[in-house]
Amino acid sequence: MAFLADALQRIKPSATIAVTDKARALKAAGRNVIGLGAGEPDFDTPENIKQAAIKAIESGKAAKYTAVDGIPELKAAIAAKFKRENGLDYKPSQIIVGTGGKQVLFNALMASLNPGDEVIIPAPYWVSYPEIVALLGATPVSIVTTMENGFKLTAEQLEKAITPKTKWLIFNSPSNPTGAAYTREEVKALTDVLMKHPHVWMLTDDMYEHLVYDNFTFTTPAQVEPKLYERTLTLNGVSKAYCMTGWRIGYAGGPEPLIKAMAMLQSQSTSNPSAVAQWASVEALNGPQDFIEKHNKIFKERRDLIVSMLNQANGIQCPKPEGAFYVYPSCAGTIGKTAPSGKKLANDEDFVSELLEAEGVAVVHGSAFGAGPAFRISYATKTEDLEEAGRRIQRFCGNLK
Ligand SMILES: Cc1ncc(COP(=O)(O)O)c(C=O)c1O
């Protein structure tokens, strides 16, 4: 439509939301569908966090606009969290709170990118990274990682991708969509490369920090390489670990001039994030953290279950990732085969749509994340449903001709 902005030509809607919508529509039409598309915990927000929100409403604290970049109490809780968990010192003036990690990311990119700038994004990637970069007229430079390397970017790959136009490396560990998490040594190999290129900044998305298994130790780039602190934006939020996706609170710590610029943008768009959600997040960060471990025990069991079931399905190969609540199996062994409907599977998009059609299991095709043929399963879903989905995937793959 001629009326709409040219910038819209550069982006597409989120494939993960599209799958969730399609599964919802099939369910509404009476089909028995198991949705493994959504990237959010199936657990409810912990009770103490809900109570803090209720108290904020009843005391009138939530009634008014707050400071655009977050209430002082939340900034203090975030500063304490960065110190306690990451060994990072951020002053309140170096911290911004936004409406979800997504808004903070958007503001960071909008505040820093000019047309023609390049942003290095390891693939498979979270779908929003390249879309936001492209929307802003900059160039996403995708580097495809391999299953053999555990879906991790290598120092050589990074070195090769850097040009004089590179502005950011977007780094996400544990990763959406692969669950891959980088060890301290693996992070160091990448920060060593960035130390040789002082014009490249590090945007680290630590959203899944707390969701790691088998005693994996999470580290964040500015902690591993303190000399990179001055050009690192450390992004995080309460959505995933605290089961608060609906509350919409994300935050970042970084150099003051960048944070200030992000706050200015926010002041002209959404202003402060919801006051209720900010007070709830104070409790999330300052309150008891024991439920995280309890949830992680369940997530780990589910990961092990689904990885084992997928590896028993014909034509599927699934590595066991270190974190998040995703697995990213290859379906290369099914491509070229024929589904029960008679359709020949030409790519992973065919695989996921035939799987949904034949067995009512909704997953997201890997090509949406920039690397296929593969698909993403979110195992943040009831264990019985996950097990049933595993059986259906095995049956679907077994029936391919
Ligand atoms: C890697 C990653 N970063 C950031 C976000 C944004 O989280 P939110 O905006 O819900 O806080 C998500 C959500 O799916 C994610 O997967």
Which residues, including other chains, have CB under 8 Å from residue 99's CB and lie 6 or more apart?
248, 249, 250, 270, 273, 274
- What pLDDT is attached to residue 74? 98
pLDDT of residue 184: 98
Q: Report d(CA 265, CA 245) in Å as an integer.
A: 23
Q: What is the pLDDT of residue 376?
A: 97
Question: How many helices, marked H, and strands, marked E, lie in the chain?
Answer: 13, 12
Query: What's the CA-to-centroid distance between 238 and ligand 1, angstroms?
Result: 10
Can you tell me the distance from the alpha carbon of 171 to that of 105, in angstroms, rounded to the nearest whole number? 12
pLDDT of residue 318: 98
Chain-centre distance for alpha carbon 354: 26
Structurally, at CATH architecture level, domain 64-286 sits in 3-Layer(aba) Sandwich (3.40)
Domain ranges in the chain with CATH number 3.40.640.10: 64-286
Residue 128 in contact with ligand 1 by CB distance below 6 A:
no
248 CA to middle of ligand 1, Å? 10
DSSP states of 87-102: -----GGGEEEESHHH
User: What is the pLDDT, as a whole number, of residue 13?
Assistant: 77
CATH number of 6-44+291-396: 3.90.1150.10
Range list for CATH 3.90.1150.10 in the chain: 6-44+291-396
Q: Which of 102, 104, 205, 244 to mutate to test the pocket of ligand 1 (most atoms within 8 A of CB)?
A: 102
> In sequence order, what are the beta bridge partners of 338?
344
Smallest CA separation from ligand 1 atom 4, residue: 101
Both structure tokens of 28: 């509404």
For ligand 1, whether the C-beta of 237 sits within 6 Å is yes
Kindly give the confidence (pLDDT) of every residue in the chain, 401 residues in length, as a single tens digit, with 9 standing for 90 and above.
789 999 988 888 777 777 778 888 898 999 999 999 888 999 999 999 999 999 999 999 999 999 999 999 999 999 999 999 999 999 999 999 999 999 999 999 999 999 999 999 999 999 999 999 999 999 999 999 999 999 999 999 999 999 999 999 999 999 999 999 999 999 999 999 999 999 999 999 999 999 999 999 999 999 999 999 999 999 999 999 999 999 999 999 999 999 999 999 999 999 999 999 999 999 999 999 999 999 999 999 999 999 999 999 999 999 999 999 999 999 999 999 999 999 999 999 999 999 999 999 999 999 999 998 999 999 999 999 999 999 999 999 999 99
Q: Which residue has the tokens 């902690």?
A: 223
User: What beta strand segments (E) does 313-387 contain?
Assistant: 326-327, 361-362, 364-365, 375-378
361-362 and 326-327 strand pairing: unpaired
User: What is the C-alpha to C-alpha distance for residues 121 and 108, in angstroms, rounded to an integer?
Assistant: 15
Q: Distance, CA 88 to ligand 1 centroid (Å)?
A: 21
Please indicate whether residue 245, judged by its CB atom, sits closer than 6 Å to ligand 1: yes
